[in-house]
């Protein structure tokens, strides 16, 4: 329609001897505004031209009243044109805007609702029909969501049964132990360490005494170590304790924890309920000695402190 409109108005004969110039100018100004508003790129000059064309239309629009086409110009779309320049400056160009969404909603909310009435006092009927339709759609969406959720839970359960939750890491590479900077408990009484209700390291005192003797006198025979260990006295009553040792290989596995050893007693609440159960992992520890020490002892592969093998979790 916009393509042919000006061509039809060029030589149209208006009643009452009215000049076609004002009608032509008003129509041209409105068409200019419509086309310039669709630009995909705007500048200061195009926005000024957009405002100028709208001002020209308002200056010439009285011709439609004189011709009896309209009594007033109280039109929402005509009022919206006054906000176009400001909206373009704030939100960008209008090349992606159209009225298809509102036209489609008019079909759903007006035409179909009207067809569902008896065409008498239709407004309350349309409102009630739309409300019931909305509730039905919401219920249908809820039922579909529940069915999909049940199916997803069943698939997850089957996958969980088939999935291997944990695989042992590749232990072919050497492991390096890593411990926290500060102990888990700073001062644990030795009595708690050796108690069966605590850490359960029953032979801790004897094993530590033998280790001290062998460390100070690596050339002593086994019987001499046992004899001197009985004379060792410790000048402390508490010791710091670490509850976890981690093993890593940064070269091949970065900061991934490949293995770990836990050693912690159970924690009891106020009502004698077990808050955290005890955990003492079994570990096989190999202590390598220097070649000179092994030569002096004459025992290749001798492992000091081996009497603590029954309490490896400490």
**Highest averaged pLDDT of the listed ranges 95-109, 147-161, 239-253, 289-303:** 239-253
Is the distance from CB of 47 to CB of 84 less than 8 angstroms?
no
Task: Answer whether residue 158 is part of any domain.
Answer: no
**Containing domain of residue 38, as a range?**
2-97
Task: Answer whether residue 77 is part of any domain.
Answer: yes
223 and 300 part of one domain: yes
Mean pLDDT lowest among 134-148, 198-212, 232-246, 294-308: 294-308
Cα 228 to Cα 189, 200, 289, 298, 305: the distances in Å are 24, 25, 21, 20, 14
Task: Answer whether residue 249 is part of any domain.
Answer: yes
Q: What is the CA radius of gyration of the chain?
A: 45
71 and 192 part of one domain: no
pLDDT class for 308, splitting at 50, 70, 90?
very low
Euclidean distance between CA atoms 282 and 151, whole angstroms? 42
pLDDT class for 49, splitting at 50, 70, 90?
very high
- Pick the residue with more confidence: 23 or 310? 23
Task: Answer whether residue 106 is part of any domain.
Answer: no
Task: Answer whether residue 304 is part of any domain.
Answer: yes
- Pick the residue with more confidence: 16 or 147? 147
**In terms of residues, how long is the chain?**
314
pLDDT digits (tens, 9 = 90+) for 77-98: 899 999 999 999 998 998 777 7
13 and 89 part of one domain: yes
Q: Within 13 Å, how many C-alpha atoms sit on residue 11's CB side? A: 0
Task: Answer whether residue 83 is part of any domain.
Answer: yes
pLDDT digits (tens, 9 = 90+) for 153-165: 888 877 776 665 5
Residue 121: pLDDT over 70: yes
- SS3 string, 100-165, reads HHHHHHHHHHHHHHHHCCCCCCHHHHHHHHHHHHHHHHHHHHHHHHHHHHHHHHHHHHHHHHHCCC
Task: Answer whether residue 153 is part of any domain.
Answer: no
Q: Within 13 Å, how many C-alpha atoms sit on residue 211's CB side? A: 14
Residue 224 main-chain phi, psi, to 5 deg: -65, -35
Return the pLDDT at 171.
65
260 and 227 part of one domain: yes
User: What is the bridge-based pairing of β-strands 176-178 and 185-189?
Assistant: unpaired
Is the distance from CB of 34 to CB of 2 less than 8 angstroms?
yes
Beta-bridge partners for 267: 276
Number of domains in the chain: 3
Is the distance from CB of 178 to CB of 245 less than 8 angstroms?
yes
131 and 6 part of one domain: no
Q: Above pLDDT 70, what percent of the chain? A: 88
72 and 143 part of one domain: no
Task: Answer whether residue 163 is part of any domain.
Answer: no
300 and 190 part of one domain: yes
| Interacting residues of 190 by C-beta distance below 8 A, sequence separation 6+ | 204, 205, 234, 236, 237, 238, 239
232 and 284 part of one domain: yes
What mean pLDDT, rounded, does the chain reach?
83
pLDDT digits (tens, 9 = 90+) for 14-44: 887 788 888 999 999 999 999 999 999 999 9
Q: Which of 105, 114, 255, 239 is nearest to 184 (CA)?
A: 239
Q: At what angle do helices 20-37 and 44-60 cross, to 10 degrees?
A: 150
14 and 43 part of one domain: yes
**Highest averaged pLDDT of the listed ranges 130-144, 162-176, 259-273:** 130-144
Return the pLDDT at 174.
81
pLDDT digits (tens, 9 = 90+) for 176-207: 888 888 998 889 898 888 888 888 888 888 88
Return the pLDDT at 140.
94
| Interacting residues of 43 by C-beta distance below 8 A, sequence separation 6+ | none
Return the pLDDT at 13.
85
pLDDT digits (tens, 9 = 90+) for 244-266: 999 888 887 888 888 889 888 88
Residue 290: pLDDT over 70: no
User: At CA 194, angle to CA 188 and CA 196, rounded to 5?
Assistant: 110
Query: 């050497």: which residue's tokens?
Result: 174
- Pick the residue with more confidence: 18 or 171? 18
139 and 68 part of one domain: no
14 and 89 part of one domain: yes
Euclidean distance between CA atoms 241 and 263, whole angstroms? 9
263, with CB counted inside 10 A (0-12, 13-18, 19+), is: buried
Cα 176 to Cα 32, 258, 292: the distances in Å are 78, 10, 24
Query: 């100018």: which residue's tokens?
Result: 25
- Pick the residue with more confidence: 296 or 234? 234
Euclidean distance between CA atoms 248 and 257, whole angstroms? 5
142 and 211 part of one domain: no
Return the pLDDT at 166.
61
Residue 311: pLDDT over 50: no
């Amino acid at each position: 329609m916009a393509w042919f409109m000006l061509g039809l108005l060029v030589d149209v004969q208006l009643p009452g001897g009215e000049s076609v110039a004002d009608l032509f100018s008003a129509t041209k100004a409105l068409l200019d505004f419509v086309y310039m508003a669709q630009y995909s790129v705007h500048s200061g000059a195009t926005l000024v031209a957009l405002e100028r064309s709208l001002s020209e239309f308002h200056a010439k629009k009285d011709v439609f009243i004189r011709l009896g086409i309209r009594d007033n110009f109280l039109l929402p779309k005509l009022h919206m044109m006054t906000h176009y320049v400001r909206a373009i400056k704030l939100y960008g160009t209008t090349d992606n805007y159209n009225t298809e969404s509102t036209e489609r909603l008019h079909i759903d909310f007006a035409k179909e609702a009207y067809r569902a009435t008896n065409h008498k006092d239709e407004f309350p009927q349309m409102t009630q029909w739309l409300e019931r339709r909305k509730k039905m759609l919401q219920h249908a969406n809820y039922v579909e969501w529940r069915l999909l959720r049940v199916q997803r839970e069943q698939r997850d359960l089957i996958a969980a049964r088939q999935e291997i939750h944990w695989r042992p890491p590749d232990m072919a590479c050497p492991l390096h132990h890593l411990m926290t900077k500060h102990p888990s408990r700073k001062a644990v009484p030795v009595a708690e360490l050796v108690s069966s209700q605590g850490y359960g390291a029953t032979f801790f005192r004897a094993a530590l005494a033998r280790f001290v003797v062998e460390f100070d006198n690596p050339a002593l025979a086994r019987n001499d170590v046992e004899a001197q260990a009985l004379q060792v006295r410790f000048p402390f009553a508490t010791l710091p304790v670490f509850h976890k040792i981690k093993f890593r290989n940064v070269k091949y596995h970065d900061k991934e924890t490949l293995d770990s050893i836990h050693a912690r007693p159970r924690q009891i609440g106020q009502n004698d309920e077990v808050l955290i159960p005890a955990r003492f992992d079994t570990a096989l520890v190999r202590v390598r000695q220097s070649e000179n020490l092994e030569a002096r002892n004459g025992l290749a592969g001798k492992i000091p402190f081996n009497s603590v093998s029954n309490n490896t979790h400490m």
